Each structure stands twice: as C-alpha cells, then as structure tokens.
Amino acid sequence: MKCSGAAYIYTIGCQMNVYDSQRLMSILKSSGYEETKVLEDADIVVCNTCTIRHKAQEKAYSFLGRLGKLKKKKPHLISVIAGCVAQQDGKNALKRLPYIDIVIGTQSFSNFAKLIDQVKKGRSKIVDIEPQDMIFEIMPDVSDVIDKGRSRFVTIMQGCENFCTYCVVPYVRGKEKSRTPEAILKEIELLGSSGIKEITLLGQNVNSYGIKENNISFAQLLKKVNHIDSIKRIRFATSYPKDLSDELIFAIRDLEKVCMHLHLPVQSGSDRILKRMNRGYTKADYFSKIEKLKKECPGIAISTDLIVGFPSETKDEFNETLDLMKQVEFDSVFAFAYSDRPIAPAAKFSGKVDDQEKSLRLNELFLLQDYYTDKNNKKLIGKIEPVLVEGKSKKTMRTPGDAEENMKKTIQMTGRTESNKIVHFAGDNIEQGRVVDIKIEQAYPHSLWGTLAGA
C-alpha cells in the first residue's frame, strides 16, 4: 500500500483511552500511515480526549490550540478530535476550533478510515458522534511490541449504565455493551503470541460483563483467560462494589494467574454522600465485601478511588471517608477533588464546596494514605515476591548499604509484584517479561527494593 504519511496520536485520560488510541493507530496503519512520535512530522494528528474532570478537558483544548498553529504552517495536515470531549461537544468543538477536520465520538471508530478518505477528497468539517449498537472490532497491531513486561489493556466492555450523579461516562460512552468472549480471547491469544505476558481487562464495571447479552459471567471469562498458556498474569479494572459477586471473589482466590489485587472504588465513607452520588451501596455493604475478600484472599492488595468535596459534603462527612480509609487500610488510593461536569446531574446540586477547602481535604487524605501505603509496603519486607520484569530501571537507586563503586557495576532492574507495587532490584539484564522471585529488603513510599531470591 502507498504510504499516506505520518500519524501522531496524543492520548489524555484513562487506560480505556490508551486502548482506544491503540485501535485508532491500527486503523491509521491499515490506511497506509506510519506512526511518528514527533508531532511536527505528522500528516495526521489525533487528540484522543477525556472529559472526566474539567482539567482533563482543558488539557485537550490546550493541545488542540497548539495544533492550530501547526496547521497554519502545514495546511495539508489532517486534524482530529476523538473520544469523550468529541462525543460531548460534537459540533461545538468546531465552533471553538474551526481548523479541526474530524470530530469523532467514542462509538464511531468503525467509520474512522472512511472519514479520513472523505477529508482527503475535499469534504470539510465532519462530525460523527452517532451511537452504534455494535462494538467495533479490530485486532491490535502487534508488529512493534517492545514492552513485553508491561501490561497490555484489553477492553472487554463499553459504556456504563450506573449513572453516578457526578460522572460523564454514561453520557459520553453510551450504553453498556460487552464484547463476545470469542473476540476477547482471540485478541488475548494474539497478544500472548507476540510476547505479552500480562493483560489488564477493562470495563467501567467488569462485574456486570455479559449480563445484558446473557453471555458467560466475568468470573467465567477469567477462567477462560487463565487457560491461555502464553499469558502469565491477569489484572482487571474496574470492579463496582455493589456488583462484586462471591463467584468473582472465589475466582480471584482460585485462578493462579489472576493477581492478588483488587481495585474497588468506594468514592466516599459517608452514607448520605454515597446516596447523593447514586452509588447504590452503603458503607456497611462496602465493609462486608472487603471483609469477605480479605477472608477468602489473605494478603490481597486493595486500592480504591475517592472523591473529596462532593456538593454539600461536610467536614464530618469527609472525616467519615478518612475513617473508612483507617478501617480498610488500602494499599493505594486515587483521590480527586470533585469537578463540576455540566452534563452530569451533580452540576446542579446545591452546597458546592470551595476549591481551597477541596484541596485542604485532598492533602489531608493523601497524608493519611501515605501512612497506610508505607505500612502495607513494610509488611512485605523479608517476603519473597514473584515479580514480572519490566526492564532496566530508569532511576539509579542506592542499593542499601552498597558502596558507590559497586553501585556503578550493578544493573538496576524494575518490575511489579502481583499487588502492582514497583520493585527495583539488582539484576544482570534479566529478560523483560520473565517472572522472577525477589526477596524484598526495603520499602519506600512509592517502591520496594529487593534482591534475586537464592542469588
């Protein structure tokens, strides 16, 4: 095929967007483009956007502003806004950025190649944000897999129908739809045969996988993935607390490749706020799931998402979130200051908390979490942990007790434990993607230090 030029994709947002960008790049490559990592070299630029919080949306518009300047110098450049902001703003994106050629929503990727063709033939300003019933399937491009030790994302379902009152996802990613097990397994087998060892299955609520389609359950899907020889580790995100079933807890316990780590977003420790968020569970429901999880899967790492300063959240209610953190002792948390999203119902809620108060609460929360992260990391000292090797460490870490001259001779490698903690260790160029046993010697706030067990 004749080369169409160079393609550059700028990705903002979550793991699902990273996955979507890989799919968009596959389409571009099948349309004759080659990937470039240099924006100025590109003949087509895609900005794959996120609108979960105001800041993410502004990051997209700021990048697209820079793109406008490039387009002036390079008028043949095709400029594309894709994903959640495109879906949300549609035609209005063109009002703000008149030099954009294509606005393509989250469910229209199947039309991408056709739209590029139309622009090349002279059609201008195309907006495609029509919801689709079918999930667009395209096999990932594995021609240049380099990071064999890193997790590759595989989206197993799209959309969300939980309608949490703060969240844009149900509006910009549409109705919940699950991919077929056959399509998912075929994709994972392809990734495995190209050397990938770990995959992360993605969905906004993986616990409801296949229910609408009357297909196999998520736990049954995990069992099938567990049988794929080339894959050594399985992760998944995100589990929704109200739908976390016993079947899934047992699958985490029994399937050897499923990592002992669960991301279970709670959002708040106050029942009144949880109700206002429309989360569909209480603090007590959450605790009982955590209790069961810890009983069935001893040592499991648990992480969560939290929002501070949701409309009308009082200081006491915020303190209930801190209390919940003290009770669960999370391994890590992703916490965010509530951000008004005009299309989500909470934007109209009364009792907005001011920005300064939100950042004070956020800082207090992070300080508390540092204590528990440190505590959980220290529990691993002296233990032998299987670590999936990602490659050479970028940072040179001081080997505890090691002299400067020895440091220079020691190659620092890096990898991850099942609980997703970063481990640096002294190793001699160990192959990416291998799982090695590491004795944990030291724990730091954001990483662990260890040595090869038995070395």
Site for ligand SF4 in 180-219 (CB under 6 A): 204-205
DSSP-derived pairing of the beta strands 384-392 and 435-443:
antiparallel
Tokens of 33: 């483009």
Q: Is 164 among the residues that bind ligand SF4 (CB under 6 A)?
A: yes
Q: How far is the CB of 198 from ligand SF4 (least distance, A)?
A: 24
Q: Could you tell me the smallest distance in angstroms from the CB atom of residue 206 to ligand SF4?
A: 11
The entry of ligand SAM, ligand SF4, none that residue 339 binds, CB within 5 to 8 Å by partner kind: ligand SAM
Selected binder of ligand SF4 within 22, 36, 110, 162 (CB under 6 A):
162
**From ligand SF4, ligand SAM, none, interface partner of 170 (C-beta below 5 to 8 A by class):** ligand SF4
User: Given the rule CB under 6 A, which of 29-37, 163-171, 173-181, 377-385 is the region that contacts ligand SAM?
Assistant: 163-171
CA distances from 246 to 218, 226, 256, 304, 321 (A): 12, 18, 17, 19, 25
For residue 138, give both structure tokens: 């395209």
Assess 160 for contact with ligand SF4 (CB under 6 A).
yes
The CB-side HSE value for 332 (13 A sphere, CA atoms) comes to 13
Stretch that binds ligand SF4, among 40-48, 65-73, 162-170, 316-324 (CB under 6 A): 162-170
Site for ligand SAM in 399-438 (CB under 6 A): none
Residue 341 touches which member of ligand SAM, ligand SF4, none, C-beta under 5-8 Å by kind: ligand SAM
Binding-residue pattern over the window 35 to 74 for ligand SAM, x denoting contact by CB under 6 A:
-----------------xx---------------------
> Which strand (E) or helix (H) includes residue 163?
none
Report which DSSP code applies to 52.
Answer: S
Strand, coil or helix: 113: helix
Q: Please name the helix (run of DSSP H) or strand (run of DSSP E) that holds residue 389, with its range, or none.
A: strand 384-392
Nearest to 236 by CA among 257, 210, 262, 255: 262
59 in Cβ contact with 13 (< 8 Å)? no
Should residue 167 be labelled a site residue for ligand SAM when binding is judged by CB under 6 A?
yes
267 binds ligand SAM (CB under 6 A): yes
Tokens of 316: 């006491």
Q: What gap in Å lies between CA 108 and CA 295, rounded to an integer?
A: 44
Residues of the shown chain interacting with ligand SF4 in the complex, contacts defined by CB under 6 A: 160, 162-164, 167, 169-170, 204-205, 240
